Every structure is written in structure tokens, then in C-alpha cells.
Amino acid sequence: MAGSDEVNRNACKTVVPLHTWVLISNFKVSYHMLRRPDGTFERDLAEYMDRRVPANPKPVEGVSSFDHVIDPSVGLEARIYRAVAGNAAAAEGAAALTLPILEFLGGAPSPDPLPVIIFFHGGSFAHSASSTTIYDNLCRQFVKLSKGVVVSVNYRRAPEHRYPCAYDDGWAALKWAQAQPFLRSGEGARLRVFLAGDSSGGNIAHHVAVRAAEEGIKIHGNILLNAMFGGNERTESERRLDGKYFVTLQDRDWYWKAYLPEDADRDHPACNPFGPNGRRLKGLPFAKSLIIVSGLDLTCDRQLGYAEGLREDGHDVKLVHREKATIGFYLLSNTDHYHEVMEEIAEFVRANLL
């Protein structure tokens, strides 16, 4: 049972900087306003309240971005980020900015190995977008860390678009990336792709990676930050942390009900991949995984169990368990958790690029 709001607010303030507390507390308030008891969602209000930034082909700190439709049949877009050399950074005028984008999209494979990170934003399948400010900032940071390209997928959201829409959009983004010569690089002009995401985005990355393994598509690595998993039976961390660090079990249950098929429970494989209705991955050529877990996230036991499930099936897992971190610590660069985890991500990409 969740404790009182006053106790829980005080607990949060002792473990996160003020800016982080304000950021996530504001999300919590707005998210509560948007969820209706009948399972529907205030989408128009959500779009109005979401803090977003436009794509910017003019480089900011050496990174430019542009939006591109990758599947017109469902209106699926992605925001593409890339590093830009010094001369391009000085370009001025619409024509000067647009032409390099067109040249980039139509370009040949890079002779040097280039990581491509396909990123799925968080928001519990219902909130946020590829243009949401916090995710725009995070993707720019990934470009700086990896020296590669980031493709941030603006997948369809629940409850308007339930399972498996988000997974289908993730798969469409991967297949689109496979078909683009400008994203290939190095010896053999191969796509050197990593799947990454936080919260629901981490869940999507897992399920897209499973399908890729089944169909023989090489993924160089999966990067999961506080990936969203669940199940019918409550774990110890779910009971202990319910309501204490920004999130309640009631919140999580609402989002699963909004995303899963209407007749499904939380032991559906989308929610509980290694649960009683899930499947094991032994024998599949599943990618190496970097799994980032916050110890003060009420679903941390789920994430630790997921890492253990991969290991039991014979797969390579690097687990980074930040026991004193809360959800969202990777969105602001104001803690040691942030900087140390960003170094882990950079090293993981470097080590698995070839």
C-alpha cells in the first residue's frame, strides 16, 4: 500500500536533485490528469502539455536533426540525429540546410564503421514523442557519445493504438534502416545497429530484438534503461516501493491495461516476457544487452529478473544496477548516476560496433 503523499515527497527529495524532483513531479501530476478511470486518455490535452522542440537541421553543439516519414501507410515518423562537421555547421539559409539533409539521405555507405542507434522513447506506451524535449536532449547526447546516427521512432501510442502497434512500428523502423545505404558502414557496408529505449521504449527494444533474432537480422546490442516489464504476481520491490519514488502500482496497472489486448492480463508475454505465458530465448542469436536498472524504481525486481532470464538462456548481459537512482535519472546531467551510465553506454557501443 502506498504511503502518504507527504512522506513520499520527502523520500524523493532526499535522493534526487531539486531539478530532477521538479521535472518528474510535474510529469506525475500531468500524467494523472490525462488518465481517465474508464481507460481512455486525454490525448488533445496531452499533446498541448507535452514540452516539445522542432527538429533543427542547423547544428547545435555539433548535432543536427530532421524529421522523416519512414512508413507512410501508418504515418510513422522518425527524428534522425547526426554529427555535423565544422564547415556544415557554418551553413546559413534554408537551401544550405536542406541540401545537406537530402545529400545525407541519398548518400553512400560510410567507409568507417558507424553505429546506428534506433531509439524508442519512454512514456509507458501512452505519453511523449520523438520531439519531446527530454528525449530530444537524450538523443543528442547519444550522438555525442557514439559518434554515430540516432533514429528516434515516433511510434503509435496507447490506448488508441494497443498491442502490437508499438512493436510493429519498431519493426518497421528497423526494416527501414536496413534498406538505407546511408546508414551502412565499414567493411561489407553493413548496418551496425543498436536498439535502445527507456521505460516502455526498453520494452519495445526487447521485443523488436527478439523478432530480429528470429528472422536472422544482426543487432549489435540492446540498451535498456529502466525497461518496463510487469506480471500478475507482485514482486518484493513493487510492494516495498509502491508510491515512494514518483510511481505507484496503480499507475503501472493503468498503462498495462491501456496497452495490452482488452482480454489480457499482466502475464501476457508483452508485459512478462519470461513469465508463464512467455517464451525462452535459448538457442536464438539474441544480441548482447546493456541493462540499466534504478534501485528505487518499483519495477527494479522485474528488470533484474529479466537480466537473469537472459543469462539463464545463455545470452551476454552487462547489468548496471544503480541502487540509489530513481526513474528518469538519465534525463538530466546533474548526478554521478547520469555521467557514469553515459560512459557505460559509450563503452558498450564502442565494444560491440564491429
Q: Residue 297: what are its φ and ψ, rounded to 5°?
A: -90, 125
* Catalytic site includes residue 199: yes
Residues whose CB is less than 8 angstroms from the CB of residue 347 and which lie 6 or more positions away in sequence, other chains included? none
Beta bridge partners of 116: 149, 193
Q: Is 281 exposed, middle or buried (0-12, 13-18, 19+ CB in 10 A)?
A: buried
Residue 318 β-bridge partners: 290
Q: Are 88 and 59 in contact (CB under 8 A)?
A: yes
Residue from 289, 327, 329, 287 nearest 308 by CA: 289
Residue 248's identity, in one-letter code, is T
- DSSP conformation class of 82: E
Burial class (CB in 10 A: 0-12, 13-18, 19+), 187: exposed
DSSP state of 348: H
> Of the listed 199, 200, 237, 294, which one is catalytic?
199
Q: Which residues are catalytic?
A: 199
